[in-house]
Structures are given as C-alpha cells and as structure tokens.
A and B are shown apart, each in its own frame.
Chain A
Amino acid sequence: MSKIKINQIESLTTDGDLSITPNGTGVFEVAGEDDNGTLQLNTLTQSNKVKIKGPSTAENYTMILPTTDIDLSTNKILKVDSITGSGSTAVGQLAYTDLPAEDGNNLNASNITSGTLASARIPSPLPATTGAGFKLISTTTLSSQVSQINFTLDDDSLYKMIGELRFGYLSNGSATTASGMYLKLFNGSGSGYQQEVVATGYNADFITSGGTYAQNFNTTSGQTIYSYTKTLTQAAGSSGHFLAEFSTGGKNAWLFLKHRDQATSGYYEYNFHEQKASINNSQSNTKKFTYLRLETNNSTNYAFIANTKLYLYKYMEA
C-alpha cells in the first residue's frame, strides 16, 4: 500500500475536476481516526462547511443514490426502495418517492377537533330512520296584521301545525274579541282551485243558541272549515291556540283540528273546538290540497295581528 501524507490536494487545471479513481472494486474511502470518517463539503468561499459523517455504530451498509431523475422529484422524500444482501453486505437502493398518502381508513371522529361541519355537507332532509322523523318547515311570526296567512305544502305529505293566534282589526291592528279562524284548502296556489270541504266535530254549543253545552256538528258543504269557538259569535278572548294535523293528499286529504280560545268571562269553559275535515267526496276534483289558507272569519274587517305565531312541521316518510 502506498501512502502520501499531505494536507491538501488541488486540481491542477482551471475548472478541472479532481478525480479519485479506486482500482477495480475499490472505493474512495474516508477513514476515521479519532472520529468517524467525515466528508466535508465547503461553499465556494470556504466559510460554510456541511459534513456527511459515518455513524459511530457498527454499520457497514451501502446506500445507492436514486436511479431516477431528480428533476421530477420536487417534494419527494428519500426512501430505501429495495435491499440486497444483509448485515455488512446490505445494499439499499434509494428512491425518490411521494410522502405516503393520508390514510382515509379507520378515521377517528374524535380527531375532528375544530370547526363545524357545514350544513351543506349534511343531507337534507336527514333520513327519518335515524330519528329525524319530524322536521320544522317554517315558523311564521306576524309583525303586522293580515287577514290571510298562506302555506304552500308538499303533495301526499303529513304535517302538524301549531298556532298561537292573536285577533284584531285589519284597519289598525288593535285587538278584538270578535274574530275567529277559517281554514281553506286549495289544490295548488295561484291558478289552483279551492276545494269543497266537509267536516264533523265537537264544540261549544254556541252556534244556534249561545248556550253552555257542547255538541256534535257537521259541515256538509261549502269551501270553508270553520274553526268554531265562541269567538265567532260571542265575546271571548282575543287570542287562541290550535293544533292541526293533516295529510295533503295522495288519494284523500284530511285535517284534524283542535282549537281552544283564551278565556273570557262567562263562557270560557266551553270555548273549544275539535273536528275532522276533508275534501267533499261529491266534488269531482282531485281530493288533495297543496295550499292551506288561514283566514279570519271576516277578512274585510278582522285580521291576525302582530305576534301571531304559526309553526309548521312535517312528518318525514323517508
């Protein structure tokens, strides 16, 4: 073995490389003496020096730099692509590779630690089979008096409406005890037609006598469902509330209604109304409605006034 002791080797010619040529299977070896073998690469000013150093552990592997072009490898990482041999003869072939894709499997919901899922990402309606069987469709709160309140409805659907009624004068919105509520059913709004209705029920016996007993009643013709309480004929409170459940159609629409007006002196204990209404079987039109109108019994003079509230819910079927 020949050996020279020297501090520096410099290339002989301008822009000339300094080649180191091992013989045969020999390698260019940086030996360690008091420290592990270190290869230092200086910047052109020699002021900054980055080093690659052998480990201090008993490792003898060989790394082969990647066999592919680096120009397509922005954002890639260096990975040991394959191994031949083992132990001191192990040779690892490096490769430029992508960072592993995020694992979309087995996601842990607890890892959603911030933000709110946008409503647009949630199906609407939610499946009724998960428990979302009862959907709020709308809340209507009047800020001023109107004589009619209209609702557009889906065909062949089940609804529940809860009403908190305030009655007053259409002219100025002040309260009155004289008004009451009618319901009217239309098949379609605008060009739709108003349905003929029938009804049967049970209410305070004020219709004919103004007496103090309750009675059965029937409505056999006409286009109005009369929500009979004492407010329609005698003084009662200027407010009331009702519960209505209705099916808008399919073959036959129907509406179940319970209505109670607020108390007033003298007759408050009879101031209620319950009925079942539907579209008259004798009429020839389709027996469904997709438009519901609440109207005061005298729409020229009386109105639903401010703070009247109507909640419309739908029973979901899918």
Chain B
Amino acid sequence: MTKLNVNEIEANGTNSNVKVVGKGADGGCEIKGGTNDATLQLNCSAQTHGVKLKTPPDSAAQNYTIILPDNQIDANKVLKVKSITGSGATAVGQLEYADAPSTTVTNMNAANITSGTLPTARFDAFNASDGAGLVLINKATVSADNTITTIDFDLEDNTLYRLVGKSITLSANNDNLKFEWLDSSDQVQTNIVNSNYRYSSGSYSETQSYVIPWDDQSYMGTEFAFVATISTKAYFNYMMLNHYAPGYAYNNCDSYSTFDLSATGGAAKSINKIRLKTNNGNYFQSETQIILYKYNES
C-alpha cells in the first residue's frame, strides 16, 4: 500500500478540482478516523468558517450508506430516506427530496381531548333515535308591556309539537287566550271543531276559525298557563290543550280541537303557523313566555 503524508492537497490548475478516484466497485474516498471519528469539513471561501460532516461514534456501530437524492432538488422539500436495500453493515438508504410528512390527524383518541368544552354552536342536530327526542324550536319572551298582541310560530307539516305557555300575563282581565291556525298563505283556517271540558258549565263545543279554551272568566284574572300538543299531520291535525288560570280555583279547561272535515268535503287542511292572541285584543305583558318544542321522529 502506498501512502502520502501531507497537510494539504491543493489543485494545481486554475478553477480546477481536486479529484479522488476510488478503484473498482468498492473503492471510494475514505476519511479515516484519527483520535476522533472521521470528519469532513467544508470551509467557506475565506477559510474562516468550516461546516463538518461527521460519522456517528464507534459505539453506534453503524456502517450504512446514504445515497444522495436521486431526484431533482426542489424548494420546500425535505430529505427523506426513500428506500433501503440490504441491512446492517450493508444497508443502503436512498434519499429523496420529498414533501414533508402528512400532518393530517388520524387515529385520534377521543380521550386525548383533555381540556376545554365543545362550544354549543359546534353541535349539529341530534337524532331522536340517539335520545334527542324533544327539540327546542323557539322561545318567545315578551320584553315590554303593551307592545305585543300576537305571537306566531311557524310549523312544519306532518310534525308533532309541544307548545307551553308560562307566566302569561294579559293587559286586562275578562279575556281568553285565542289560538288561530294559519295555512301556508298565512290565511286563518276555518272549520275548527273545539270541544272543551271545564270546571264551570261542563263541556262545550263550537266550530270556529279559532280555538278558545273557554274557561270561566268569573274565576280568572290576567294570568294564564297552558300545555298543548299540536299535530300538523294531514287528516290528523289536532291540538290538545290543558289550560289554566293560575292563582284561582274554579278554572280548568281542557280543549280538544281538530278540523271539521265534513265541512271541507273530506279535504285535508294544514296548519303551517299557529298564532296566539287574545279574544279581546289585549296585550301580552312582559315576562310572558311561549315555548315551542318539536317531537323528533327520526
């Protein structure tokens, strides 16, 4: 083996390379470790800075080969080991310029969401079959006296609702709540049969363009409450209403209403809106609350 002991090797021509040529398939340019592990230092042109590539320590016992990327260099790519041949001392890793690893979050563990609370706005409607059988549709609260005489709720066709009135206060007594059923053109429906059962004066029925739970005004003040079930299903439209005037005995009216289909020749009618008002046109006073729920069917 021939060996040259020098401190520096310099190219001898202008702008010329220093070339090291290994011999044969296994020959290469080998930098041996001295006191330290082998290091290749690349200096800047001023020789004032030198960046080094160094082999891992002997204790790591590595003998792999890295082949520089076999594709064109491109901005924003990262160095990635594209493939491996061999193993152990003969392992050869082919590098490539590749996109950064995918940052899509997969295989998330729900239990790892360990802080915060999902904002309510982030919840979509749940299914009734999941337990969400009653959905709040709307709550109307009167905020000022002598301003509101009607409260409307749009209704979907073929649906069951629960309508509740609480803290209802009218601007004057000797009045009754009045419910109108409107069609899709906002026209008040007619031919509503309303059968009442009440404490005073027994049962009473009428066919009108409204439903009034005819409680006995002698035992009512200005405050009311009710719970109603409303069906907008064709041929099965109805409203069952438990009505009451809190604070007074002798008032108790349950109202059962449906369309008189004999008057329509059997034609189905619809309830697209329900309007709450009073028979004498009084105001709903502040704190009056009307709450509409829908029974989810899927």
Interface with B: A32-40, A140-148, A170-178, A259-267, which one?
A32-40
A99 x B100 contact (CB < 8 A): yes
A39 x B29 contact (CB < 8 A): yes
Given A13-B7, A315-B164: A115 touches B112 (CB 8 Å cut-off): yes
Chain B residue with the shortest CB-CB distance to A122: B118
- Convert B166-199 into 0s and 1s, putting 1 for each residue whose CB lies closer than 8 angstroms to a CB of A: 1101000000000000000000000000000001
B246 x A252 contact (CB < 8 A): yes
- CB B143 to nearest CB in A, in angstroms, measures 13
Which listed residue, B8, B37, B60, B164, touches A158 by the CB 8 Å rule?
B164
Which listed residue, A38, A63, A79, touches B29 by the CB 8 Å rule?
A38
Given A27-B17, A28-B18: A103 touches B53 (CB 8 Å cut-off): no
* Residues of the A chain whose Cβ atoms lie less than 8 Å from the Cβ of B63: 48-50
Given A83-B74, A130-B125, A198-B248: A54 touches B68 (CB 8 Å cut-off): yes
Interface with B: A228-236, A273-281, A299-307, which one?
A273-281
The yes or no answer to B262 lying at the interface (CB within 8 A) is no
Given A115-B112, A279-B247: A11 touches B34 (CB 8 Å cut-off): yes
The yes or no answer to A166 lying at the interface (CB within 8 A) is no
* Residues of the A chain whose Cβ atoms lie less than 8 Å from the Cβ of B58: 43-45, 47-48
A51 x B66 contact (CB < 8 A): yes
Overall SS of chain B's interface = loop
- CB B67 to nearest CB in A, in angstroms, measures 5
Which listed residue, A120, A220, A287, touches B246 by the CB 8 Å rule?
A287
A118 x B76 contact (CB < 8 A): no
Given A79-B100, A254-B246, A276-B242: A41 touches B65 (CB 8 Å cut-off): no
The yes or no answer to A242 lying at the interface (CB within 8 A) is no
* Residues of the A chain whose Cβ atoms lie less than 8 Å from the Cβ of B136: 127-129, 133, 316-318
Cα(A22)–Cα(B6), bound, Å: 15
Interface with A: B20-28, B147-155, B232-240, which one?
B20-28
Which listed residue, A115, A256, A280, A282, touches B227 by the CB 8 Å rule?
A256
- CB A169 to nearest CB in B, in angstroms, measures 33
Q: How large is the interface on B (under 10, 10 to 19, 20 to 34, 35 or more residues)?
A: 35 or more
Chain B residue with the shortest CB-CB distance to A113: B107
Which listed residue, B6, B118, B249, B293, touches A218 by the CB 8 Å rule?
B249
**Residue of A51, A97, A107, A279 ringed by the most chain B CB atoms within 10 A:** A51
* Residues of the B chain whose Cβ atoms lie less than 8 Å from the Cβ of A200: 199, 249-252
**Residue of A9, A16, A23, A276 ringed by the most chain B CB atoms within 10 A:** A276
Number of A-B contacts (CB under 8 A): 433
Interface with B: A186-194, A206-214, A243-251, A290-298, which one?
A243-251
A43 x B57 contact (CB < 8 A): yes
* Residues of the B chain whose Cβ atoms lie less than 8 Å from the Cβ of A41: 31, 33, 37-40, 53-55
The yes or no answer to A284 lying at the interface (CB within 8 A) is no
A120 x B117 contact (CB < 8 A): yes
B167 x A256 contact (CB < 8 A): no
A23 x B16 contact (CB < 8 A): yes
Which listed residue, B12, B111, B115, B247, touches A2 by the CB 8 Å rule?
B12
The yes or no answer to B46 lying at the interface (CB within 8 A) is no
* Residues of the B chain whose Cβ atoms lie less than 8 Å from the Cβ of A5: 2
* Residues of the A chain whose Cβ atoms lie less than 8 Å from the Cβ of B250: 200, 218, 220
The yes or no answer to A42 lying at the interface (CB within 8 A) is yes
B13 x A1 contact (CB < 8 A): yes
**Residue of A5, A26, A78 ringed by the most chain B CB atoms within 10 A:** A26
Cα(A176)–Cα(B10), bound, Å: 114
B19 x A18 contact (CB < 8 A): no
A116 x B10 contact (CB < 8 A): no
The yes or no answer to B263 lying at the interface (CB within 8 A) is no
* Residues of the B chain whose Cβ atoms lie less than 8 Å from the Cβ of A282: 247
The yes or no answer to A71 lying at the interface (CB within 8 A) is no
Which listed residue, A33, A133, A201, touches B252 by the CB 8 Å rule?
A201
The yes or no answer to A204 lying at the interface (CB within 8 A) is no
Task: Write 29 A-B pairs (CB below 8 A) sorted by A numbering.
Answer: A6-B4, A28-B18, A29-B18, A30-B20, A34-B27, A38-B22, A42-B33, A59-B72, A65-B42, A79-B78, A80-B97, A81-B76, A92-B75, A100-B101, A101-B103, A111-B107, A113-B108, A114-B107, A121-B115, A127-B136, A131-B296, A132-B126, A132-B135, A158-B164, A198-B247, A198-B248, A198-B249, A250-B167, A252-B169
Interface residues of A, Cβ cutoff 8 Å to B: 1-2, 4-13, 15-57, 59, 61, 63, 65, 77-83, 87, 90-92, 94, 97, 99-104, 107-108, 111-118, 120-123, 126-134, 156, 158, 198-202, 216, 218-220, 245, 247, 249-254, 256, 275-276, 278-282, 287, 315-318
What are the 5 tightest A-B residue pairs by CB atom distance, in nearest-first order?
A131-B132, A281-B247, A115-B111, A250-B167, A38-B28
Sample of 5 more A-B contacts, CB < 8 Å, known A57-B70, A100-B101: A11-B6, A44-B34, A100-B100, A101-B103, A156-B167
